[in-house]
Structure 1
Amino acid sequence: MTTNESRHWTAVCADGDILPDTGVCALVEGVHVAIFRVGRQQALYAIDNVDPKAGASVLSRGLVGSIGERIVVASPLYKNHFDLQSGECIEAPEHSVRAHAVRVQEGRVLVALA
């Protein structure tokens, strides 16, 4: 298991650049990553940005919501829902994406690829 200290963290934007209940896209080590700020707690989540069914880098533009206790984003193309904690595609698990570590440090949002 990788610890936070041994991960390679990449700064992607200022903490205030992500509006509540929205996502942004960043290129992290050549990977398109969608970073979301969600809910009252303003929790941050990061998943792959490419919709595996469409092959388009669009998940950061999806609608954020919940299905039961799961916080999800709906792909703007095929409307599949992706769990923001795990990257699992609710409707078609074979289309799941990776979830990445995300944190704020000194006012910057940092992402470490899974």
Structure 2
Amino acid sequence: MHRDQSAAAWTAICNVDEIVPNTGVCALLQGQQVAVFRMNEGEGSGSRVFAIGNYDPNSQAAVLSRGLVGNLGERLVVASPIYKHHFDLQTGECLEAPEHSVPTWPARIEGGKVWVGA
């Protein structure tokens, strides 16, 4: 459910340094809660950002921005703080229950700010 990056209207969410590395924050984008994650690529190589729906359909709560981030194999994921289901940060897929996957939005860092496309 990833939206086309070229057609996106971009919204500045916050300064990139306002998100602690390897954590998430919640933002309101066109009336919808979006979980925005900043992931460090490694020593001195900068950060990447991801945006997925904040609502966890498994627990029926808006909590994904508060989940723990990490990786399962090659996949960057967030574990929901309630039932610990893992959501792929690139695709929004729920690994344990794919029918409960969440939407994604394009995200980027530019000019020291985090931008999310809608």
TM-score after normalising by structure 1: 0.91
1:33/1:3 CA distance change after superposition, 3 Å: closer
1:93 alignment partner, one of 98, 107, 110:
98
Flag the 1:20–1:93 CA change in 2: closer, same or farther, 3 A: same
SS at match of 1:44: strand
For 2:71 and 2:90, locate their aligned partners in 1 and report how far apart those are by CA, in whole Å.
12
Q: Are positions 1:54 and 2:54 aligned together? A: no
Alignment: residue pair count: 112
User: By how many angstroms is 1:112 displaced?
Assistant: 1.0
For structure 1, the residue ranges without an aligned partner over 5 or more in a row are none
* Residues in 2 aligned to 1:90 and 1:33: alpha-carbon distance in whole angstroms: 19
2: CA distance, partners of 1:3 / 1:16: 23
Alpha-carbon contact 2:9-2:117 (below 8 Å) kept: yes
Distance 1:87 1:68 in 2: 16
**Given residue 106 of structure 2, which amino acid in structure 1 is its aligned partner?**
A
Q: Distance in 1 between matches of 2:72 and 2:112?
A: 31
The one-character-per-residue Cα deviations of 1:27-78 (angstroms, maximum 9, x if unpaired) are 0001100011113242111100010122211101000011111010000011
2:77 corresponding residue in structure 1: 72
- The two structures have a TM-score, normalised by structure 2, of 0.88
Q: What are structure 2's unaligned runs of at least 5 residues? A: none
Matches within 5 A, 1:22-37: 22-37=23-38
SS at match of 1:16: helix
CA distance in 2, matches of 1:46, 1:14: 15
Structure 1's consecutive aligned runs of 4 or more residues displaced over 4 angstroms after TM superposition are none
Higher relative contact order (CA 8 A, sep 6+): 2
CA distance in 1, matches of 2:4, 2:15: 25
User: Percent of aligned pairs with the same residue?
Assistant: 54
